[in-house]
Structure 1
Amino acid sequence: MMNLKMIFILLIWASSLSYSLLKGGYSAWFMTYSLSLLLFYFIIVKLTNPKLKAHRKIASEKWISGDHISVKVNIQFHSWVPFVWIIVKDGWHRQTYFPRFQTTFQYEYLIKNSQRGKYDSEGLQIVIKDLFGFIRKKVKVKSKLQFIVYPEPIPITEWKNIQSNWEDSDHTSSLRNYESTQFSGIRDYNYGDPMNRIHWKMSAKSNKLKTKESEISVDHKMMIFLDANQKGENFNTSSFETAVQIAASLIRYGKNQRFVMGIVSNNLEQYNDSLTSSFKIQQAYEFLATVIPDGEMPLYETMSQQMKKINKDMMNMCITTDLNDEFINTCLFLRKQMRKINIVFIYESKVLNIKHRKYIKSLEEMGCHIELVKSHHHTQKQGGLKHGA
């Protein structure tokens, strides 16, 4: 496009020069000189290579879904040719600026109602235009920006059915928790760490939050099963987002209560990990920030396979939006093996239908503890996708 403009101006200039040489006259030569100046300006601007530097800054690298994330952008622009328009773009925002004779300008924008996921941007695309709009240059400027948005937690302390199971006297021996007053070390603060374990003196010295690691003996055991099967009968995006929130909330609750934990999902990669350290727990949070419902295996098959590998005293928390005959039969089979089954059932309708009520009654009769959670994401888009720019 730019070459066509230059060819067009050259043709007009050549025509004007030819006319002036053949006919002469004040008006003809005035037109030729004017076009010569315009052609000279065009060539100079085209050959100009402006120097651009950019820097983006956010307050934190870790956010919660729904947060408004403020991004501050600083642009340094050096050119001896006056470029009037500057358009700055990344994957999340577009800003038009008129620098006049300024060499540095900055602005701030918001990523509103952020969705969970990893946000990764290598740089900015800057488009600059000259005074007459003849020249349009695209420049890619390096300005790396990375942050992660975790799912928003849900207060599970209100789940009386699940709480009663944890407090059941029949399981008292497996629910004891011994916490020493001795500390095994200090590490960087991770999402979900309780505030009473923050080492404030070290945090002040390092200008970064630090957490005290306690020497703890734990007998609590919990395995979380997250249903990420996209082919489920009652699957929808909003309910899955609620399921991810519940899984993150259970991990945070278990971490605060010093549970021995693990998490399994029937997503495409068949995620399975034992959360035996703070690093592993952080990895699980990152998995929940990025997981998408791409699984094809039903949750009841995943439960049957995985429970063969874990002890019977493990409390199994199954988060699903899909109750069916196969799931009920699997739970009955596992209960006969003395497995502890807790189910968090997520529904979206105003009231449960007759079929779901029947399934819930069957589960309760076989000794499963059930918590009913209504999906509250009515219009939210699917999270977990990688947001690049």
Structure 2
Amino acid sequence: MHNKIFLLLLLIVSFAFAIFSGGKILYLLVYEFAFFILLNYLYIRHIKNSIYIHVISHKNEITVGEEIAYEVTLINNSFFPVFNLKIIDYSPLNAKVKSEEWYLMPFKNKKVQKKFVITKRGIYFLGPFEVEIKDPFGIFKVVKKYDFKLKFVVLPRVHNIEVELKARQQLGNIEAENKAFEDYTNISQLRKYNYGDSIKRIHWKVSAKKREFYVKEFQVSAMSEVYILWDLDKNHFAMDTQGIMDENSAECMLSIAKFCLLHGIPVSVIDYNTGMVQVKGRRINDFKNFIEVSLRNFPVYEKSLEDFLRLYKSIPYDVTLILITPYLNNVILGELVNLRNSNRELIIYYVNDPKEIEDKINKLDIEVVFWGKKDVKRAKKEFA
């Protein structure tokens, strides 16, 4: 811009000086100078219509921490060389990609590979793109816009872990007294009604024939149903400026879900905002639904974890609740004790520094697993 103004002023001054002096040589120099500027303008317009770019990515789905790579092909369809060409990306990822200037020979292409790393899960878009072209003397600059975008899906890491669910020692049916592991599809035997038995267990057809109440006893299975409570209170992540705890929480949720699905254990994730079941599955084919949930949920809610935990009343009895959180205080622990006493199994996965809560949890009969520490049991590779 400064060069253009300077040359325009220089042309005006030269033309005025030629008029007042009346010299033919000065007129000739002014005309040559004007012709020079016109040639540069025509050159830059021609190059703009002759330049194209093509952007591709060979991998659009990666894991956090992996390298994203994409390729830009610069195409010059002109018989003139391009002396100064720059690709500009106005997407949020632009800060991770360094802009460079390129030179192109006539009727030649140039491939440029760019790489960068994203440390947070989510769906990202690269683009739109602009090509900035300058003439050899920097007098004129034009911009050509390309409105296409590249989509990148950055997934959380998923670890192969062992989750110790109560009464789950092996796959299949095992003996256990906890009702959380009763298989209501398989009746093991009938017996006479005892005081305190649930009316729902009465076998009405048999009772009508025998003229006294008989209740159903079910086979006890190791397959407990799991509900995951994922803490997304943004105040609990206030110190997480780099998003490490947030990513650890997502990794923990997916790793637990994968373990359950691999073993045919029904698992659900509770929506932090509504308290309703957000996603549910029982087979590993359902795992993609849990991945989608991990990409949609972030710690952005003002709702406190204490209020969230009070939603346990809407969750069935005799299930295993798994809480994933980076924050525990006395109020939350009090709610957890109430939850633990409601005939529901409870496991806490703590994704913060364990030193902050060790003194608080030692007095409680609650299982706490420190995510990322040696307490997390890794599974064998056959579960990958």
Normalised TM-score (structure 2): 0.72
Bigger mean CA offset, 295-304 vs 66-75: 295-304
Deviations 1:161-203 (A, max 9, x none): x356643953597388x9xxxxxxxxxxxxxxxxxxxxxxxxx
**Deviations, residues 269-325 of structure 1 (Å, cap 9, x unaligned):** 8784132487864243133135332122222321221x2222213211101111111
Partner of 2:343: 338
Contact 1:57 1:72 in 2 (8 A): yes
Aligned length: 323
Are residue 247 (structure 1) and residue 253 (structure 2) matched?
A: yes
SS of structure 1 residue aligned to 2:371: strand
Q: Cα 1:374–1:274, aligned 2, differ >3 Å: closer, same or farther?
A: closer
Check the 8 A contact 2:348/2:369 in 1, yes or no.
yes
Whether 1:298 aligns to 2:296 is no
Q: What does 1:85-164 align with in structure 2 at a 5 Å threshold?
A: 85-90=84-89, 91=94, 92-93=96-97, 94-157=99-162, 162=164
Name the amino acid aligned to 1:23. Answer: S
| Rounded Cα–Cα distance in structure 2 between residues aligned with 1:172 and 1:104 | 70
Identity rate of aligned residues, in percent? 16
SS of equivalent to 1:362:
coil
Give the greater-gyration-radius structure (CA).
2
Q: Does 1:58 align with 2:65?
A: no
Taking a change above 3 Å as real, the CA distance of residues 136 and 269 of structure 1, as seen in their structure-2 partners, is farther
TM-score, normalisation: structure 1: 0.71
Q: 1:29 Cα shift?
A: 4.2
Q: Rate the CA distance shift 1:316–1:51 in 2: closer, same or farther, 3 A.
A: farther
| Aligned equivalent of 1:167 | 169
Structure 1 position 71, deviation (Å): 1.1
Amino acid of the structure 1 residue aligned with 2:358: R
Conservation of the 8 A alpha-carbon contact between 2:84 and 2:103: yes
Structure number with higher relative contact order (C-alpha < 8 Å, ≥ 6 residues apart):
1
CA drift of 1:99 comes to 1.1
Verify the 8 A CA contact 1:115 1:149 in the aligned structure 2: yes
Render the CA deviation track for 1:247-268: whole Å, top value 9, x for unaligned.
Answer: 12112222222222211253x6
RMSD: 3.4
Partner of 1:9: 7
Question: What are structure 1's unaligned runs of at least 5 residues?
Answer: 179-216, 377-389
Q: For residues 45 and 362 of structure 2, what CA distance do their matches in structure 1 show?
A: 77
Equivalent-residue separation in structure 2 for 1:116 and 1:233 (angstroms): 16
Distance 2:333 2:277 in 1: 23
Once the two structures are TM-superposed, the CA of residue 359 in structure 1 deviates from its matched residue by 2.4
* Whole-angstrom distance in 2 between the partners of 1:233 and 1:144: 32
Alpha-carbon distance in 1 for matches of 2:261, 2:284: 9
Tell me the distance in 2 between the aligned counterparts of 1:284 and 1:372: 22
How far 1:47 sits from its partner (Å)?
4.2
Unaligned ranges ≥5, structure 2 = 186-220, 375-384
SS in 2 for 1:74: strand
